[in-house]
Amino acid sequence: MRKVLGDRKTIILLMAPALLLYTFLKIIPVAWSLGLSLFKGNLLTGFTFIGFKNFTDFVADPDAVNAVWVTVKYSVVVTLLQVTLGYALALLYIFVLRKASAFVRTVAFFPTVLPTVAVALLFKSFFSIGDNQGPVNAALNALGQPSVDFFVSGSGTFMVAVVMELWRSIGFYAVLLYAGLVDIPIETLESARLDGAGGLRLVRYIVLPLSAPILISSLIFSVNATLKVFDGLLALNNGGPGSATTPLTLYMYRSAFNYAEYGFGSAVAVILTLLCLMFTVTVFRTARRDVAEA
C-alpha cells in the first residue's frame, strides 16, 4: 500500500476522475457565474459587458437590500436556536436518557428526512385560517382568543418559518452534536465529578470546551444552510407577503428566471457566496480567539 500511495503517477491517476468531476460540477459553473455577473442580457437579447454595474444596481435596489436583511436575520436566528437547542438535546441524550435515548433520537431525527416543501405545506395548514382552519388557531379559539392570520404579515410568516425549520432540522444537529459528545472520555467526566464539578459547572468547564470542534462544525453547517434557504420560504408563503420574507436565493431566482436578467442573477449569486464566506470566516476567527483566550 505504501508503495502504491508513494507513486506520484498512481496518486494522480486515482485522483483524476474526482478532480475532473469537481472541476466540471463546481469550478467551471462558479467561474462562469462570476464572468456572467459582469454582463447584462439573456440568450434572446444577447449579452452586453457592463462591468460592475450589476453590483451597483444591487446595492441601489431596496428589494435587494431587504433580501439581504431577511437572509441575515433568518440565518442568525435559526442558527443560534438550532445549535443551542440541538446541543441541549445532545446533553439530554448523554446525561439523562443515556442508553434509552435511541428511540428519542430516532423520533427527533425523523423530520430531517422529510422533503422541505412537504414540511412547509404541513406547517401552512397548521397555521391556516378560514374554512380550513388549522390546529393552531383552533387551539387559540379554545382558549378564548381570536384566530390569527399568521401569513398576512412578514413577522408572522417569519415566525412560522423559524418554527418550521427548527422542527425539521433540530434532530440533525442533536445527533451531530451527540456524536461529538460521546467521544469525550468517561474518565475525564468522572474525574471532574470527583473534584466537585457537577451539573452546569461540568458542562461549562469540561463538556463545552471538549466539544468545541463539533460545535464550530455545527455552526458552519447551520450558517451556510440557512443563508441559502429557498424552498421552505417559497412553499410557505412565496416569500411574502409582498417581499417581506424573500431571501437572497429567491430574489436571485426571480431575477434570473422570471425577468431573464441572467447577469444580475449571477451577481446576486456572487454576493450570496461572499456572504457565506464572510460568515464562515467570522465563525472560525471567533472560535480561534476563544480557544486562544482559554
The overall average pLDDT reported for the chain is 87
pLDDT score of 207: 81
Distance, CA of 165 to CA of 119 (rounded, Å): 9
The contacts of residue 283 (CB under 8 Å, 6+ apart) are 216, 219, 220, 223
- The interaxial angle of helices 262-293 and 62-92, nearest 10 deg, is 40
Would you call 281 helix, strand, or coil by DSSP?
A: helix
For residues 201-214, average pLDDT: 80
The contacts of residue 198 (CB under 8 Å, 6+ apart) are none
The contacts of residue 33 (CB under 8 Å, 6+ apart) are 266, 269, 270
pLDDT score of 269: 93
pLDDT score of 45: 81
Give the chain's domains with CATH numbers: 53-293 (1.10.3720.10)
pLDDT score of 132: 79
For residues 168-189, average pLDDT: 85
Q: Give per-residue pLDDT as tens, 122-147.
A: 999 999 887 778 899 999 999 998 98
pLDDT score of 223: 93
Residue 157 pLDDT greater than 70, yes or no: yes
Instruction: Select the more confidently predicted residue: 36 or 201.
Output: 36
Residue 294 pLDDT greater than 90, yes or no: no
For residues 112-131, average pLDDT: 90
Would you call 261 helix, strand, or coil by DSSP?
A: coil
pLDDT score of 208: 81
Distance, CA of 234 to CA of 145 (rounded, Å): 29
**Count of Cβ atoms closer than 10 Å to residue 72 Cβ:** 16
Residue 292 pLDDT greater than 60, yes or no: no
Q: Give per-residue pLDDT as tens, 77-111.
A: 999 999 999 999 998 888 888 777 788 888 888 99
Q: Give per-residue pLDDT as tens, 46-56.
A: 889 999 999 99
For residues 229-256, average pLDDT: 92
- Which of 9-18, 26-35, 73-82, 210-219 has the weakest average pLDDT? 9-18
